[in-house]
Structure 1
Amino acid sequence: MTTADDGSVARSDASAGTPDTQQQAPGNGSPDANASPFAGLQDEGTRTWIEKKGYKSVEDLAKAAVNQESIIGSSLRVPAQDAPKEEWDKFYSKAGRPDKPDAYELKRPDGLPEDLPYDEALAGNFKGWAHKAGLNGSQAQSLHDAFAHAQAEQAKAHVTALKEAVEGAADALVKEWGPQDSPGFKSKHEMANRAMKKLGLVESFQKSGIILKDGALTDANLAKAFAAIGEKMFSEDSVDGDASTSGKNPFKDDQFSLTEIGRLVKSDPEQARRLAREAGKDPAQWVGK
């Protein structure tokens, strides 16, 4: 016969076994202490990104977000194209642009040819351009160096072109007039010079590069044309209308005349030099250099 006490004991035994039947083993729906806290994220791309970054906890991810926000806050942001000048000035200042153009410390670039003059005035202008463009010191020097080297290459090419032009003109005139030390060449050359001087073209030709500072010609055809003009203008039978030298050369031994030489040197030194050379005399002794 079952008593109330017996029933209590039976119910007590049944309830005592409940914890064992309700306890869940790991891997059967219970939380795993080693599992990633981000395993439940729905987006696979986000989970993959977090795994590659190596974040192990929500706290790691939060710290990274704070750091990233700090970096973004301190980074430079390029103003909009239509932003006010003041906003652009602040941006340039943060990027390292000096306060004034004169604050740039530009120096002559290394590797420039020694015979190439360094244009300080142009360097001063460059500082203003660099400041307006918002360049920092390093950027300004780098661009300045590139510009100076480009100028040097242009100058080198120009000198080479002039040299080739002079040599080409000389070769062409030698073929036409004979050797440069011959009386014929010297006479033709002087006639061309005299004609250009008489017509007032020497300065213009020097500016245009036809005649160099040392008197060298870069255009053979032009030299031949002015030699012909000079022969017409200064023929010996009528040298500038001066009959004293018509058909005569006062420098020659058989026609020597100090009076005529003095008059000729004073009135037409170029003609005096030419006649002196034709007579085999040193023009510098009578006319000077």
Structure 2
Amino acid sequence: MAEAKGWKDADTAIKSYTELEKRLTEVSSRAVAPPPEDAPREQWDAFYARIGRPQQADGYEFKLPDGLPETMPYDGESAARYKQWSHEAGLSPRQAQTLHDAFVRDQAQRYADHAATLVRRGERAHGELIRAWGDTKSAAYAQNVGFANRFIERNGGDALLRELKESGLLSTEGAVLSPGLAKAFARAGRTLYAEDQFATGNAASRAADPARTLYPNDPFASRR
């Protein structure tokens, strides 16, 4: 062994051993081992600090991953809570960012799927109303829109419209998602307010303001 190591005498062997012990000490000082599961919080905090956890939760700075839908909302309050959870879990900034990106991408896919589902649902609803009321430029369509809109205005107005959107019966852009409800509003409006047609000469006259209209002429125009 002495020949293989190149030790010519005892001093050379001792020097080699001393150098080896020094290197082992350096490696040991750089090694990071977690404390026992039942260790006090102070030991865990010291361990988390050694692996790079910031001192405070607000020390994490998250960047949004690329490729997210432009219209996708980002919840800053949820991000702040996630920072707190990451700090409690002892995550390093890199670990926290990795999990943050994975979660945001998952939510982005869910958001895109939901948006596509609403578009398809709106297209089906619009097609059903056209089959029932005629082309969007027809007098029958305009009359039904007017009666439905009049019913909405006189039975809740903007507050009812907000509730319909929150309930998923209208899209946020105002597109009809429930053709059955739209027909019911039109029938109710015709039954209750048909006499207004004789006073105004046009049952759809009150539907002229787009902000007050339940059914825009083209509910998908905003998506083009």
TM bracket (short chain)? 0.7 to 0.9
CA deviation after TM superposition for structure 1 residue 73, in Å? 5.2
With normalisation by structure 2, the TM-score equals 0.73
More moved, 161-170 vs 151-160: 151-160
Corresponding pairs, count: 200
CA deviation after TM superposition for structure 1 residue 74, in Å? 4.0
CA deviation map 1:34-74 (0-9, x unaligned) = xx69xxxxxxxxxxxxxxxx9899x6996798455653454
**Aligned residue in 1 for 2:206:** 273
Question: Which of 160, 181, 203 does residue 162 from structure 2 map onto?
Answer: 203
Paired AA for residue 176 in structure 2: L
With normalisation by structure 1, the TM-score equals 0.59
CA deviation map 1:124-170 (0-9, x unaligned) = 33222211111111111211222222222122112111111110100
More moved, 206-215 vs 192-201: 192-201
Partner Cα distance (1:55, 1:196) in 2: 94
CA deviation map 1:71-105 (0-9, x unaligned) = 34542222222221111101100111111122222
Q: How does 1:77-226 map to 2 (within 5 A)?
A: 77-200=33-156, 201-226=160-185
* Pairwise CA RMSD: 3.2
| Structure 1, unpaired ranges of 5+ | 1-35, 38-53, 240-244, 253-269, 275-282, 285-289
Paired AA for residue 228 in structure 1: R
CA deviation after TM superposition for structure 1 residue 251, in Å? 4.3
CA contact 1:108–1:118 (8 Å) conserved in 2: no
Partner Cα distance (1:271, 1:105) in 2: 54
| Structure 2, unpaired ranges of 5+ | 8-12, 210-224
Judging changes above 3 Å, is the alpha-carbon distance between structure 1 residues 196 and 250 closer, same or farther for their aligned structure 2 residues?
A: closer
Question: Which of 189, 192, 204 does residue 230 from structure 1 map onto?
Answer: 189
Identity of aligned residues (%): 34
Partner Cα distance (1:105, 1:203) in 2: 36
Mark the structure with the bigger radius of gyration: 1
Partner Cα distance (2:5, 2:140) in 1: 95
CA deviation map 1:93-120 (0-9, x unaligned) = 0111111122222222222233334444
Give the number of the structure with larger relative contact order, counting CA–CA contacts within 8 Å between residues 6 or more apart: 2
